């Protein structure tokens, strides 16, 4: 069951339901490759199952070689503690309970490197820029880098003991610290560029180490830690884009940091690689957190509560606002790890029972993707069965089917007519049988009593007879009513229709039923032809009206339409336009050195358009009744041209005056 907060979650990437539960052995840790197509899951049995996340099936299983003792017994494989992919997805790095660290060639299912530490390794990861270097975290020593080659060089990470400032930057050479005092167990993680390592110890101190020089460039206290106390850091989680960092500790809040990976000068004390952002917590439960992760876009943080078997909390990272609480089944018995898919709205919750719970969004089923004609209904709709019931047809659907499927409509009408006549005949026959039995009973009773039996009645139920008559002759009446003339005699026998009636109604139908079907079939085809002709005529009228409207609109807009055309008289790039509604011509040169050559063509086009305008004005003036005292069209046009020439002369004089002033 999912419990959403009152304010809701804007956006569509928030998880809502458990989509599936995966299991192959008892899983202890998981890791996605860079694109999220493969999911590696370490198990308590020592093997690593690689799931194809598209099909959710096991594509490969990596199993180390079993160790045989001197007495011939085979040792049980140690549980896998962590798994991590290389940046190219070809290698897999794993650690186990016996202190071993193994590099797997995934394609060959073979170990390419193996080293053993004196203590257990609770995590290890490849360097983002160099897959021959790894960052490992022993359980009894401080984090260190490990060369994954023949030399197997181990370089401890420097730490910052006894440091309680909220946020300071510093630079301390690694050789200047007491190694015995500085190396304490903790967690570590690479930055996205691989230039820095983030190291957290059990005293609540988070340090930033520059790997090139192994110097501490920043140290800060994790929120919730107390001076002189002990705080166990469970894990450090970096977002996919490398811009955010989470520290999951034994405190009742999750520390969050903004990461500036590319710092120009680490010697500057004002420079901060890590900057505090709002911590994440639940004000109601105030419980510890077992695991946490970022969403694929870094906008949300998902964490598993340590006080519930399967309870996930989601926050907005920027504000620290709790937006959703997700409840899973109690059979999980706790969550050991959370992992968000790299590019999709999916998350994996590793239960303490060894199952992998896939959390996802709630997707609405779209059946129209399989059949475009499928119509989804928001509520139940009662469909009318108009074959035998007296329910009005859907005229819109009937009209469409008559146009698209006239033969199918005719067949339906024929079958309906035959079935109706057969039903009417059956009712008449049943009535006749009842009358026969009644008359026989009356004769038997009269003979027994010695009286004269009454004659058999010749009447029938008028409603039944009228119904029979209407069904058998209804289509002739319909044709006479609609067209004003009777239909011709029964059309030629349609053998295909007869075969269809045999399949649908059986051979027990009467000749009257088949005759009604033939008449209905012919009438339906004729009706469909009439509908098709009417529809074609309507479409022709609509198209003609549309063309007329477009033509009229073009003529109406003729005075304000610009003429844009390239000059065709010479192989040069230019263009011009003119406007009938203006008193001047516009010339738009496009990379033209001598525009005077094009001006002649511009003037010609403009004069032609003015002549067409005069013709339209003259024609409209002739159609309009003339008012006494009003000048004719030519005089009016002449006045308009005179006014235009006066305006042109005024503009030319203004331009000459401007040139003189210049």
The encoded tokens of residue 146 equal: 């490990």
Out of 81-85, 139-143, 249-253, the most confident range is 81-85
What whole-number distance in Å separates Cα of residue 228 and Cα of residue 164? 9
Q: What is the DSSP string of 608-635?
A: HHHHHHHHHHHHHHHHSPPPTT---HHH
Each residue's pLDDT tens digit, 222-240 = 887 665 567 788 889 999 9
Residues 269 and 205 in one domain: yes
Residues 606 and 526 in one domain: no
* Residues sharing a CB contact under 8 Å with residue 595, sequence separation 6 or more, in sequence order: 574, 587, 589
Each residue's pLDDT tens digit, 566-594 = 444 444 334 444 444 444 444 444 444 44
Q: At what angle do helices 511-556 and 406-449 cross, to 10 degrees?
A: 150
Q: Contact, 158 vs 175, CB < 8 A?
A: no
Per-residue confidence (pLDDT) for residue 257, from 0 to 100: 92
Per-residue confidence (pLDDT) for residue 442, from 0 to 100: 75
Average pLDDT of the segment spanning 236-247: 92
SS3 275: strand
What whole-number distance in Å separates Cα of residue 302 and Cα of residue 312? 7
What whole-number distance in Å separates Cα of residue 74 and Cα of residue 356? 29
Per-residue confidence (pLDDT) for residue 489, from 0 to 100: 45
Per-residue confidence (pLDDT) for residue 79, from 0 to 100: 93
Average pLDDT of the segment spanning 509-536: 76
* Residues sharing a CB contact under 8 Å with residue 554, sequence separation 6 or more, in sequence order: 561
What whole-number distance in Å separates Cα of residue 603 and Cα of residue 313? 76
Residue 297 lies in a domain: no
Asked whether residue 410 carries a pLDDT value surpassing 90, the answer given is: no
Of the chain, the end-to-end C-alpha distance in Å amounts to: 83
pLDDT band with cut points at 50, 70 and 90 for residue 60: very high
Residues 504 and 616 in one domain: no
The DSSP 8-state label assigned to residue 445 in this structure reads H
Q: Contact, 127 vs 135, CB < 8 A?
A: yes
Per-residue confidence (pLDDT) for residue 340, from 0 to 100: 95
The DSSP 8-state label assigned to residue 645 in this structure reads H
Residues 509 and 616 in one domain: no
Q: Contact, 460 vs 428, CB < 8 A?
A: yes
| Residue labelled with tokens 């680490």 | 266
Residue 211 lies in a domain: yes
Average pLDDT of the segment spanning 255-284: 77
Residue 228 lies in a domain: yes
Q: Which helix (H) or strand (E) holds 479?
A: helix 462-483
Average pLDDT of the segment spanning 202-210: 87
Q: Contact, 209 vs 158, CB < 8 A?
A: yes
Residues 488 and 569 in one domain: no
Domain that holds residue 528: 395-536
SS3 203: strand
Residues 498 and 612 in one domain: no
Each residue's pLDDT tens digit, 419-475 = 777 777 677 677 677 777 777 777 777 777 777 777 766 544 443 444 444 444 544
Residues 401 and 511 in one domain: yes
Backbone angles phi, psi at 384, to 5 degrees: -85, 130
The encoded tokens of residue 404 equal: 């698209």
Out of 20-34, 475-489, 501-515, the most confident range is 20-34
Per-residue confidence (pLDDT) for residue 152, from 0 to 100: 67
Distances (CA, A) of 503 to 97, 500, 508, 518: 75, 5, 11, 16
Asked whether residue 266 carries a pLDDT value surpassing 70, the answer given is: no
What whole-number distance in Å separates Cα of residue 410 and Cα of residue 398? 11
pLDDT band with cut points at 50, 70 and 90 for residue 267: low
Residue 518 lies in a domain: yes
Residue 137 lies in a domain: no
Q: Which helix (H) or strand (E) holds 550?
A: helix 511-556
Residues 515 and 406 in one domain: yes
How many other CB atoms sit within 10 Å of the CB of residue 29? 23
Backbone angles phi, psi at 479, to 5 degrees: -65, -40
What whole-number distance in Å separates Cα of residue 158 and Cα of residue 211? 10
Residues 410 and 526 in one domain: yes
Ranking 2-6, 302-306, 408-412, 597-601 by mean pLDDT, the lowest is 2-6
pLDDT band with cut points at 50, 70 and 90 for residue 74: low
Asked whether residue 62 carries a pLDDT value surpassing 50, the answer given is: yes
Q: Contact, 353 vs 23, CB < 8 A?
A: no
Residue 2's DSSP bridge partners are 326
Q: Contact, 259 vs 242, CB < 8 A?
A: yes
Q: At what angle do helices 406-449 and 462-483 cross, to 10 degrees?
A: 150
Mean pLDDT estimate for the chain: 72
Strands (E), 295-431: 300-305, 311-316, 321-327, 335-340, 346-351, 356-360
Residues 576 and 525 in one domain: no
Residue 164 lies in a domain: yes
Out of 84-88, 316-320, 415-419, 591-595, the most confident range is 84-88
Per-residue confidence (pLDDT) for residue 69, from 0 to 100: 66
Ranking 151-160, 360-369, 384-393 by mean pLDDT, the lowest is 384-393
Asked whether residue 327 carries a pLDDT value surpassing 50, the answer given is: yes
Q: Contact, 289 vs 281, CB < 8 A?
A: no
Asked whether residue 127 carries a pLDDT value surpassing 90, the answer given is: yes
Average pLDDT of the segment spanning 521-550: 82
Average pLDDT of the segment spanning 508-523: 72
> Which of 189, 204, 88 lies closest to 136, judged by CA?
189
Residue 337 lies in a domain: no
| Count: domains in the chain | 3
Per-residue confidence (pLDDT) for residue 514, from 0 to 100: 72
Out of 263-267, 305-309, 379-383, 417-421, the most confident range is 305-309
> Which of 289, 285, 321 lies closest to 303, judged by CA?
289
* Residues sharing a CB contact under 8 Å with residue 218, sequence separation 6 or more, in sequence order: 168, 169, 170, 207, 208, 272, 273, 274
How many other CB atoms sit within 10 Å of the CB of residue 593? 8
Asked whether residue 84 carries a pLDDT value surpassing 90, the answer given is: yes
The DSSP 8-state label assigned to residue 364 in this structure reads P
Per-residue confidence (pLDDT) for residue 228, from 0 to 100: 54
Q: Contact, 44 vs 28, CB < 8 A?
A: yes
Distances (CA, A) of 249 to 231, 307, 317: 7, 14, 17
Q: Contact, 259 vs 274, CB < 8 A?
A: yes
What value does the CA radius of gyration of the chain take, rounded to a whole number of Å? 46
Residue 246's DSSP bridge partners are 237, 256
Each residue's pLDDT tens digit, 292-325 = 999 998 899 999 987 788 889 999 888 888 888 8
* Residues sharing a CB contact under 8 Å with residue 326, sequence separation 6 or more, in sequence order: 2, 3, 15, 16, 311, 312, 313, 314, 359
Distances (CA, A) of 537 to 1, 81, 523: 61, 79, 21
Each residue's pLDDT tens digit, 137-182 = 988 888 888 988 765 677 777 765 544 444 433 333 344 444 434 4
Q: Contact, 110 vs 104, CB < 8 A?
A: yes
Residues 401 and 524 in one domain: yes
Residue 617 lies in a domain: yes
Higher per-residue pLDDT: 634 or 215: 215
Higher per-residue pLDDT: 603 or 572: 603
> Which of 98, 92, 94, 144 lies closest to 117, judged by CA?
98
Residues 480 and 411 in one domain: yes
Per-residue confidence (pLDDT) for residue 160, from 0 to 100: 58
Percent above pLDDT 90 for the chain: 20
């Amino acid at each position: 069951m999912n419990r959403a907060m009152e304010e809701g979650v804007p956006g569509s990437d928030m998880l809502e339901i458990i989509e599936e539960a995966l299991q192959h052995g008892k899983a202890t840790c998981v890791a996605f490759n860079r694109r999220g197509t493969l999911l590696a899951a370490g198990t308590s049995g020592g093997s690593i199952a690689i799931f194809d996340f598209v099909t959710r099936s096991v594509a490969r299983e990596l199993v180390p070689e079993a160790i045989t003792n001197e007495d011939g017994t085979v040792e049980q494989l140690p549980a896998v503690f962590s798994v991590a992919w290389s940046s190219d997805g070809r290698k897999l790095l794993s650690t186990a309970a016996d202190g071993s660290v193994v590099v797997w060639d995934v394609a060959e299912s073979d170990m390419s490197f193996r080293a053993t530490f004196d203590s257990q390794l609770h995590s290890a990861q490849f360097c983002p820029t160099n897959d021959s270097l790894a960052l490992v975290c022993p359980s009894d020593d401080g984090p260190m880098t490990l060369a994954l080659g023949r030399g197997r060089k181990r370089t401890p990470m420097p730490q910052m003991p006894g440091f309680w400032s909220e946020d300071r930057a510093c630079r301390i050479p690694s050789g200047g610290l007491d190694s015995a005092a500085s190396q304490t167990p903790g967690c570590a993680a690479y930055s996205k560029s691989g230039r820095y390592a983030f190291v957290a110890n059990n005293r609540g101190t988070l340090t930033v180490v520059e790997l090139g020089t192994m110097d501490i460039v920043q140290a800060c206290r994790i929120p919730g830690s107390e001076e002189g106390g002990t705080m166990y850091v469970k894990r450090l989680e970096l977002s996919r884009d490398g811009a955010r960092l989470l520290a999951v500790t034994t405190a009742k809040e999750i520390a969050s940091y903004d990461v500036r990976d590319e710092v120009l000068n680490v010697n500057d004390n004002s420079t901060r690689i890590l900057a505090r952002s709002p911590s994440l917590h639940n004000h109601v439960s105030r419980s510890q957190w077992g695991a946490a992760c970022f969403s694929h876009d870094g906008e949300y943080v998902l964490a598993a509560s340590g006080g519930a078997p399967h309870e996930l909390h989601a926050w907005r990272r920027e504000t620290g606002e709790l937006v959703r609480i997700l409840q899973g089944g109690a059979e999980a018995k706790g969550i050991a790890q959370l992992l968000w898919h790299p590019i999709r709205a999916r998350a994996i919750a590793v239960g303490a029972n060894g199952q992998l719970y896939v959390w996802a969004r709630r997707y609405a089923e779209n059946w129209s993707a399989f059949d475009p004609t499928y119509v989804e209904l928001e509520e139940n709709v009662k469909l009318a069965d108009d074959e035998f019931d007296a329910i009005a047809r859907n005229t819109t659907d009937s009209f469409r089917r008559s146009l698209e499927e006239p033969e199918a409509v005719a067949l339906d009408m024929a079958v309906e007519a035959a079935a109706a006549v057969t039903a009417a005949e059956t009712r008449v026959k049943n009535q006749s049988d009842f009358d026969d039995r009644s008359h026989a009973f009356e004769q038997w009773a009269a003979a027994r009593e010695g009286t004269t039996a009454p004659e058999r009645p010749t009447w029938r139920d008028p409603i039944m007879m009228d119904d029979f008559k209407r069904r058998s002759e209804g289509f002739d009446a319909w044709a006479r009513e609609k067209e004003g003339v009777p239909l011709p005699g029964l059309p030629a026998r349609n053998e295909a229709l007869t075969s269809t009636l045999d399949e649908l109604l059986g051979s027990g139908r009467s000749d009257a039923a088949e005759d009604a079907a033939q008449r209905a079939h012919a009438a339906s085809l004729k009706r469909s032809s009439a509908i098709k002709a009417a529809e074609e005529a309507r479409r022709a009228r609509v198209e003609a009206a549309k063309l007329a409207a477009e033509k009229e609109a073009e003529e109406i807009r003729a005075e304000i339409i610009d003429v844009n055309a390239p000059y065709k008289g010479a192989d040069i790039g230019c263009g011009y336009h003119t406007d009938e509604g203006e008193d001047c011509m516009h010339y738009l040169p496009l990379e033209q050195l001598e525009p005077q050559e094009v001006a002649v063509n511009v003037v010609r086009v403009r004069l032609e358009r003015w002549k067409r305008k005069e013709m339209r004005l003259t024609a409209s003036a002739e159609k309009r009744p003339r008012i006494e005292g009003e000048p004719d069209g030519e005089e009016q046009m002449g006045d308009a041209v005179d006014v235009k020439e006066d305006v042109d002369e005024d503009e030319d004089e203004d331009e000459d005056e401007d040139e003189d002033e210049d």
